[in-house]
Amino acid sequence: MQLNITEQDDIVRIEVQEERMDAHNSGDLKEQMLQLFDEGKYNLIIDLSAVRFVDSSGLGALVSGFKNASAREGSLKLCCLQPQVRSMFELTRLHRVFEIFATVEEAVDSF
Amino acid sequence: MISAKIVLIISLIYFALLFAIAYYADKQRERGRSLLSNSYIYSFSLAVYCTSWTFYGSVGRAATSGLEFLPTYLGPTLMAFTWWYVLRKMVTISKQENIVSIADFISSRYDRSALLGAIVTLFALFGIMPYIALQLKAIARTLEILSSPLHLPSAGLSPLGTQLPPYLDTALIVALVLSLFSVLFGARHLDSSERHEGLVVAVAIESLIKLIAFLAVGIFVTYGLFDGFTDIFQRFFEQFPERQDLFSLGTEETSYTKWFTLLVISMMAIMFLPRQFHIMVTENPDEENIKKAMWRLPAYMFLINLFVIPIALGGLILNGGDTSQADYFVLTLPLSAGHPWLAVLVFIGGLSASAGMVMVSSIAISTMILNHLVMPVILKLKIRTHDFSRVLINLKRLGILGVILLGYVYFRIIGESYALVNIGLVSFMAATQFAPAMIGGLYWKRANRQATTTGLLFGFILWFYTLLIPSFVRSGWIDSDILHDGLFGIALLKPEELFGLRGFDIYSHSLFWSLLFNLSAYLTLSFFTKQSETETLQADKFVDALNETVEPIQRKRISKAPTIVEFVGLMSKFIGEKPANAAISEYLKNRTIDTRGSLSDHEIPDLKIFAERTLAGHVGAAPARIILENYLSTRGSKMEDVFDIFGSVTISHAANREQLSVLYDAAQIIASGADLQKVLDDILGLLSDQFKFDLCVIRFLEEETMNLVVKSQKGMSSVHFGQSERNLNVETYIGQAFLSNTTAVVNDTEFLDKPTSAEIIYREGITCFAHTPIVLEGESVGVLSAFSRTVKGIFTKEFIALFENLAGQVGIAWRNDKQLQGLLEVHEQEREMQIARNIQMSLLPATIPQMEKIEVAGLCVPAHQVGGDYYDFITREENGFDLIVADVSGHNIGSALIMAETRTFIHARIDSIKQPAEMLKSLNKFFFDNMDCSDLFVTMFYAQYSPDTYKLGYSSAGHNNPLLWRQNKQEIELLDADGLIFGIKPTVEFQQKTTQLEVGDILLLYTDGIVEAEDNNNEFFGTERLGKLIQESVDLSAKELIDRIMDQVRMFTGLRHFIDDITLVVMKILK
């Protein structure tokens, strides 16, 4: 999975540069997040602007990141969701769990 | 008198009707209801043998030459007795090898020779051209007779009507119309391997129509114009007592030899005319149909000949013995008796006879031209386009048009000077030339390619010289000198009296010489030349086709093999993307694919053969072979023997028998299949025993440490070699051998240039040694070494070759072992997954009880062995039941375990928790507590229905919204209830909704596998399509609805397999 990782203060932004997040590639994202947690970085922003489709495994990776971040008193926020991805979150009611922002800046400001 | 216009319109309507039937047949096949399963259709389609030659020509022949017409139908009848052996064998082979034409068959049998395919094609094209001409002539003539019966045109065709320009004559129009329909019937798509069901059905119907028409006119003449058979015969004998010899053999007109000749060539024609091959073999739907056809075709022949003599005699009586128009008695008798509509029926019958022949022949021949003449050229020129299939189909259409127009040209040049019958015999004779190659090919393994090529060429040349040349002369197209004086004035070369042979009729003469040369060349060369290895393989396949054969053990592998995807890409180029994908998924269905999505090494050659066969079905066997060979060679892949024992050692170099026997013994050791350690030990034992080495060692690379580790050793103990493991660097000889992939030889240790090695060498008193890398696919995996303490200069050039060869064999043993280990491992895992799958499937409801008021059906298809989908149907004590669908993310064992836990939880609590929302809440708690930080998560829809009150209560944990079809509103409603997926938050409130159902309502629960199924353009199946599908299928039962949805999704994705688990539960309210 193509991930572009940038750090700003103690906030890490992960930009997913894939059209799809599914069973084939979401494992990479999960591993990347676990690595960040190991390094003591608990505040993540996942930028989904390129993602067109998320399946249950993709959601699973995000949920796992979310739970791990929360357990370490950090947080995982999402931004820039395309409409189809947004509807997937609404269907599973996960939009009430994740903090979702329209732009990266808004997400950064919320920390 | 019927105007030409009306006749034309009737003919076009008839064709349109046929086309409609053909179209219907094609559609039926797509729906899986093949009309061809009806054995009558096969039997009738075989009667394409009876062309207008039969329809009009038989009567003409009976009137002029008496019994001469009969062998043409006795031949096939005799041949039919052999069909269960010969024809069935041809069909079996053709199906196995995906053979689509007679040229393909002969070329496949003889080493898939492209040259042979081309020869047969050319031969067939020239051989069939007169026959097509004959059909055109018959249609054109009858059309004119019908429209102007009073002044019969004696010869030449006057243009039809005045409105047509002079260069457009009737025959040309007929040719163009027939081409159009042939293209419609036979070349709408490029899939010659698949059958043209529509065409076959149309041909069968045409056969029926021509039989009916002929019987009708026969009955009309016999019982209408005359007073039965006896009456006709009596009156004929009274009127023409001198023509009694029409009914005997051995007359001047019908000599015994001629009769015999005709019998032989018609026996061969029914089997080997390209159109007969096409209909009998290529289009054969089921071998069992042959049995029925074996008596039905002879019966057909009998019926269609029953009235030939009465009509002929009747015609002669009524025309005062004039035979000049005898070919058209069938038509002129009803016309002159004032029954124009009967004549129209006859015309339609004759049209059917001609059209059927022209269509099938032109399609068969154009397929042959495309596969055996055009494809090789395209391949040779290496024309590169993305998509050949479009070009190919247009070429095929062009081919059909070309073949028919060629027939037209022949008709213009020759047609007028010959009676129908004689033109037909020219074609029969051509088909007879295929007989040695075909029959020999089926039953004689020795028969080889060279012999067949030569035999066919001889046959072709003599056929051309003894039959076509005279026909050209007779039409005045070439000078008649050649007939009288022979070629170049040499009397021995007279086409009709070749080598001085006289006293035969032209056909017996031609048969004698062409078959003599053809057969002699075929037999002699087969005896005296040898087959190549691949040729022997093909010969065995063909001759043993009906025997149970043991699959030969796979001895080949492909180096640098292409992947499955590459094979598919290659096939798509020629047959289009969809068929290629369909073919490959059919192929892969029963095979194990390893974790990287590729086949194991030993299956790749199989895949290659499969790809070749699939291509063969579309472009013919020889081009398919060339395509694959080209492709593989450009990639640098080649087929290689697993035990290439003498590969690099030539006998002249290693004249030393001892050395060869070492290689042979080593191959035996490897083939013994003992475990790797024993194989390595034995090989080293052999080496040191035979050549008296003091030490032999095999080392393999251990990848973790990048060291060469001793795997086997013979001779001095390893104590002598303090460092039995070697680091990899070029400072040592062994390192150099390994890294540079070349053998390192030191024939005299007095001269060493690597100090690191020298120390040990001197310490151990080694006098000469060599290291050779063990190489697999160009990469070193280990080193084979040999040392001597006594001799110097043992490593000669020849010996090094042998030594390297041994190392290659060690590499093969090593690879075989690895593969075996890999396979064992995979099988073990698979077995466990299978157990898991069985357990998981047993957790789903085995049967759903039959109920009076509702009907429920469910289906769960895991994408892999195990999956994370789950559905359940639980009856509650208090009159009602719960319907549950859940989706655990992922399709692995983890998902399957969570699914099992979910089920256990629900079943344990079902009596204590009454409401859906409550159940979800406690499930959420359970998951949150037990699945902390896992990336698996669960969505669920939980419904509860009471048949008494028609109330449906439901809650959802982030699951896809089920669809509810409201019968009275005639619309789809989505059932949505608020609720988060499980395991995210410790406590979640789930909304519970209730709705009232009515009779006819349909509830569909599903998982995302359905709606997220994608087609080629990455478009989702989606809920809208799903909703529409329900709307269209409200009359189906719950089970049928599920099947329908699955079918539609499969069609949508174009795949048999799904990438995600799919679950569907349907509930219908019956009353």
pLDDT tens for B53-75 read 788 888 888 888 778 888 888 88
* Nearest residue, CB atoms, A64 vs list B934, B958, B985: B934
Q: In terms of domains, do B505 and B561 share one?
A: no
Delineate the domains of chain A, giving CATH numbers in brackets. Answer: 3-109 (3.30.750.24)
Mean pLDDT of B186-207: 75
pLDDT tens for B258-313 read 888 888 888 888 888 888 888 888 888 778 888 888 888 889 989 988 888 888 88
Our CA angle for B722, B727, B732, nearest 5°, is 80
The reported pLDDT for the residue numbered B668 is 73
The share of chain A scoring above pLDDT 90, in percent, equals 5
The reported pLDDT for the residue numbered B489 is 67
| Residue that terminates a domain, selected from B641, B671, B697 | B641
> In this complex, do A91 and B978 lie within 8 Å of one another by their Cβ atoms?
no
Q: What are phi and psi of B200, to 5 degrees?
A: -60, -45
Q: In terms of domains, do B517 and B608 share one?
A: no
Lowest mean pLDDT among B96-105, B167-176, B195-204, B1017-1026: B167-176
Interface-testing mutation among B935, B941, B990, B1060, with chain A (most A C-beta atoms within 10 A): B935
Answer whether residue B545 is part of any domain.
no
Whether the per-residue pLDDT at A95 is higher than 60: the answer is yes
* Nearest residue, CB atoms, B935 vs list A30, A93, A94: A30
Task: Classify residue B500 by burial, with Cβ atoms within 10 Å: 0-12, 13-18, 19+.
Answer: exposed
The reported pLDDT for the residue numbered A23 is 75
| Chain A residues in contact with B1060 (beta carbon < 8 A) | 55
Q: What is the CATH number of the domain that holds B906?
A: 3.60.40.10
* Nearest residue, CB atoms, A57 vs list B889, B933, B961: B889
**Mean pLDDT score of chain B:** 79
Longest Cα pair distance anywhere in chain A, in angstroms?
Answer: 34
The reported pLDDT for the residue numbered B963 is 92
> In this complex, do B980 and A96 lie within 8 Å of one another by their Cβ atoms?
yes
> In this complex, do B979 and A64 lie within 8 Å of one another by their Cβ atoms?
no
| Chain B residues in contact with A26 (beta carbon < 8 A) | 935
Q: Does A66 touch chain B (CB under 8 A)?
A: yes
> In this complex, do A60 and B937 lie within 8 Å of one another by their Cβ atoms?
yes
Is residue B972 within 8 A of residue B965, CB to CB? The reply is yes
The share of chain B scoring above pLDDT 70, in percent, equals 84
Q: In terms of domains, do B499 and B388 share one?
A: yes
Smallest CA–CA distance from A34 into chain B, residue? B933
Lowest mean pLDDT among A33-47, B478-492, B529-543: B478-492
Q: Does A28 touch chain B (CB under 8 A)?
A: no
Whether the per-residue pLDDT at B642 is higher than 60: the answer is no
Smallest CA–CA distance from B961 into chain A, residue? A91
Task: Classify residue B955 by burial, with Cβ atoms within 10 Å: 0-12, 13-18, 19+.
Answer: buried
Smallest Cα–Cα separation from B902: which of B980, B840, B978?
Answer: B840
Q: In terms of domains, do B849 and B976 share one?
A: yes
Q: In terms of domains, do B268 and B367 share one?
A: yes
Tokens of B33: 């209801």
The reported pLDDT for the residue numbered B598 is 56
Answer whether residue B871 is part of any domain.
yes
pLDDT band for position B383 (cuts 50, 70, 90): low
Q: What span, in angstroms and rounded, lies between the C-alpha atoms of B782 and B773? A: 6
Smallest CA–CA distance from B1013 into chain A, residue? A55
SS3 B775: strand
β B779-788/B695-702 pair status: antiparallel
Q: What is the CATH number of the domain that holds B737?
A: 3.30.450.40
Whether the per-residue pLDDT at B110 is higher than 50: the answer is yes
Answer whether residue B49 is part of any domain.
no
- In one-letter notation, the amino acid at residue B314 is G
Whether the per-residue pLDDT at B186 is higher than 70: the answer is yes
Answer whether residue B318 is part of any domain.
yes
Q: What span, in angstroms and rounded, lies between the C-alpha atoms of B595 and B587? A: 18
| Residue that terminates a domain, selected from B488, B523, B558 | B523
Q: In terms of domains, do B613 and B737 share one?
A: no
Smallest Cα–Cα separation from B539: which of B452, B454, B606?
Answer: B452
Answer whether residue B150 is part of any domain.
yes
Tokens of B58: 């038989």
Unique residue bearing structure tokens 């064709």: B15
pLDDT band for position B651 (cuts 50, 70, 90): very low
Q: What span, in angstroms and rounded, lies between the C-alpha atoms of B388 and B732? A: 55
Tokens of B673: 């299949």
ipTM reported for the complex, 2 dp? 0.83
> In this complex, do B981 and A92 lie within 8 Å of one another by their Cβ atoms?
yes
Q: In terms of domains, do B592 and B677 share one?
A: no
Compute CA distances B405 → B8, B365, B373, B416, B858, whole Å.
Answer: 20, 13, 18, 17, 60
Q: Does A95 touch chain B (CB under 8 A)?
A: no
> In this complex, do A68 and B933 lie within 8 Å of one another by their Cβ atoms?
yes
Answer whether residue B35 is part of any domain.
no
How many whole angstroms from its chain centre is CA B631? 20
Q: Does A34 touch chain B (CB under 8 A)?
A: no
The domain total for chain B is 4
Q: What span, in angstroms and rounded, lies between the C-alpha atoms of B574 and B579? A: 10
> In this complex, do B936 and A60 lie within 8 Å of one another by their Cβ atoms?
yes
CA atoms within 13 A on the CB side of A34: 11
Q: In terms of domains, do B446 and B474 share one?
A: yes
Q: In terms of domains, do B758 and B869 share one?
A: no
Interface-testing mutation among A21, A46, A56, A92, with chain B (most B C-beta atoms within 10 A): A56
Whether the per-residue pLDDT at B927 is higher than 90: the answer is no
Compute CA distances B1059 → A22, B474, B580, whole Å.
Answer: 11, 71, 19
For B693-814, list the strands marked E by DSSP: 695-702, 707-715, 726-727, 744-746, 768-776, 779-788
Q: In terms of domains, do B779 and B863 share one?
A: no
Answer whether residue B896 is part of any domain.
yes
Smallest CA–CA distance from A23 into chain B, residue? B890
pLDDT band for position B152 (cuts 50, 70, 90): very low
pLDDT band for position B726 (cuts 50, 70, 90): low
B715 backbone φψ class: left, alpha, beta (φ>0; ψ -120 to 50): left
Mean pLDDT of B379-397: 72
Neighbour tally for B256: CB within 10 Å: 11
Q: Does A71 touch chain B (CB under 8 A)?
A: yes
Is residue B321 within 8 A of residue B240, CB to CB? The reply is yes
Tokens of A2: 């193509």
Q: What span, in angstroms and rounded, lies between the C-alpha atoms of B207 and B47? A: 6
For B358-476, list the strands marked E by DSSP: none
The reported pLDDT for the residue numbered B63 is 83
Q: In terms of domains, do B363 and B442 share one?
A: yes
Smallest Cα–Cα separation from B941: which of B924, B916, B965?
Answer: B916
Is residue A15 within 8 A of residue A45, CB to CB? The reply is no
| Chain B residues in contact with A68 (beta carbon < 8 A) | 933
β B768-776/B993-996 pair status: unpaired
**Closest chain B C-alpha to A29 CA, distance in angstroms:** 11
* Nearest residue, CB atoms, B933 vs list A59, A64, A94: A64
What is the rounded (10 degree) CA torsion for B199, B200, B201, B206?
90
Tokens of B716: 């001095």
| Chain A residues in contact with B979 (beta carbon < 8 A) | 93
Answer whether residue B559 is part of any domain.
yes
Contacts of B97 (CB under 8 A, 6+ apart): B108, B541, B613, B616, B621
Mean pLDDT of B11-16: 86
Tokens of B214: 């002929």
SS3 B284: coil
* Nearest residue, CB atoms, B980 vs list A53, A68, A94: A94
DSSP element (H, E) containing A5? strand A3-8
Task: Classify residue B391 by burial, with Cβ atoms within 10 Å: 0-12, 13-18, 19+.
Answer: middle
Q: Does A96 touch chain B (CB under 8 A)?
A: yes
| Chain B residues in contact with A30 (beta carbon < 8 A) | 935
Q: What span, in angstroms and rounded, lies between the C-alpha atoms of B493 and B503? A: 16
pLDDT tens for B794-825 read 787 777 888 888 888 888 788 878 777 777 77
* Nearest residue, CB atoms, B939 vs list A30, A92, A97: A92
The reported pLDDT for the residue numbered B165 is 44
Whether the per-residue pLDDT at B591 is higher than 70: the answer is no
- Exposure string for B816-854, b = 16+ CB within 10 A, e = fewer: bbeeeeeeeeeeeeeeebeebbeebeebbeeebeeeeeb
Helices (H), B66-154: 71-80, 86-97, 102-109, 114-147
Mean pLDDT of B495-500: 71
Whether the per-residue pLDDT at B2 is higher than 70: the answer is no
What is the rounded (10 degree) CA torsion for B188, B194, B196, B200?
170
Q: Does A24 touch chain B (CB under 8 A)?
A: no
> In this complex, do A67 and B1008 lie within 8 Å of one another by their Cβ atoms?
no
Q: What span, in angstroms and rounded, lies between the C-alpha atoms of B736 and B713? A: 20
| Chain A residues in contact with B597 (beta carbon < 8 A) | none
Crossing angle of helices B340-368 and B102-109, in 10° steps, is 30
The reported pLDDT for the residue numbered B720 is 53
Neighbour tally for B173: CB within 10 Å: 17
Q: Does A89 touch chain B (CB under 8 A)?
A: no
> In this complex, do B985 and A97 lie within 8 Å of one another by their Cβ atoms?
yes
> In this complex, do B935 and A60 lie within 8 Å of one another by their Cβ atoms?
yes
| Chain B residues in contact with A91 (beta carbon < 8 A) | 958, 960-961
The reported pLDDT for the residue numbered B1057 is 65
**Closest chain A C-alpha to B924 CA, distance in angstroms:** 14
Looking at the DSSP assignment, which residues form a beta bridge with residue B701?
Answer: B708
Is residue B835 within 8 A of residue B683, CB to CB? The reply is no
Longest Cα pair distance anywhere in chain B, in angstroms?
Answer: 123
Q: In terms of domains, do B214 and B358 share one?
A: yes
Q: Containing domain of residue B724, as a range? A: 657-820
Q: What is the CATH number of the domain that holds B519?
A: 1.20.1730.10
Whether the per-residue pLDDT at B725 is higher than 60: the answer is no
Task: Classify residue B911 by burial, with Cβ atoms within 10 Å: 0-12, 13-18, 19+.
Answer: exposed
Smallest CA–CA distance from B892 into chain A, residue? A23
The reported pLDDT for the residue numbered B1066 is 92
> In this complex, do A67 and B932 lie within 8 Å of one another by their Cβ atoms?
yes
